[in-house]
Amino acid sequence: MYDFIRGPLMWVAALIFIGGVVYRAIQLFLLTRKKERDFYALEATKKRESAYSPEERKMNRLIAFQNSLIGKNPIMAIVSSVFHVCLFVTPIFALGHSLFLYESWGFSFVSLPDALIDILTIIFLVCAFFFLVRRLVIPRVQSISTPYDYALLFITAAPFLTGFFAYHQWFDYKTIITLHILAGQAMLIAIPFTKLGHMVFFFFVRILVGSEYSFWRGNRTWST
């Protein structure tokens, strides 16, 4: 069973993940269209911005900051940022994962020290627990939380929790490492087809699609 989970089932999960990401990327691309640049509007915006005094520009930046997530809820912004950084860095640069990739597919990433990965895992689990408590305790968040949201949080945290147990060899190692691999595969499969997809498509939207939330002026816009 372990060899099947570590071998063929891993290939299935990887193919579903890659195929799902490609499918969703094409789907998002088809939902947008090439945006024609409005040079007159752009020039008008530049003139309007240049008409502001330094004090007015400073005030506009302050208002924009206050309306952002970090301005309205700095704790949530910090925890969310740390959560997502750990979510990407920990699995990609863990030594065990690099060895697994090299043994299975002949390539690997640069590895970080095990002690650092262990710390990042603990930080991630603390952040996940924060999100769980937030959903359970804050009325306005609790009212919009569904079993689907709790399931996604569990799917996201499970690979880290089982990986932490496996690294420290708590409980039966063979059982825990099997659960760790299954949890990772479940997460890979879920990413393209659930809210977890924002981990992949965040940059697609922020770079290609022009909006107030873009990193810069994108060259595409949502079709109407």
Write out pLDDT tens, residues 156-170.
999 999 999 999 999
pLDDT for 40: 45
Mean pLDDT over each residue of the chain, to the nearest integer: 80
How much is the average pLDDT of 211-218?
A: 55
Residue 222: pLDDT above 80?
Answer: no
Could you tell me the two tokens for 53? 């005094």
**Residue 191: CA count within 13 A, CB half-sphere:** 25
Q: CB 144: neighbour CB atoms within 10 A?
A: 8
pLDDT for 130: 94
How much is the average pLDDT of 119-129?
A: 95
pLDDT for 110: 84
Separation between Cα atoms, residue 224 and residue 45, nearest integer Å:
24
Assess contact for 182 and 141: CB atoms under 8 A.
no
pLDDT for 206: 61
Residue 30 neighbours by CB under 8 Å, 6+ apart: none
pLDDT for 10: 85
Assess contact for 6 and 193: CB atoms under 8 A.
no
**Residue 32: CA count within 13 A, CB half-sphere:** 20
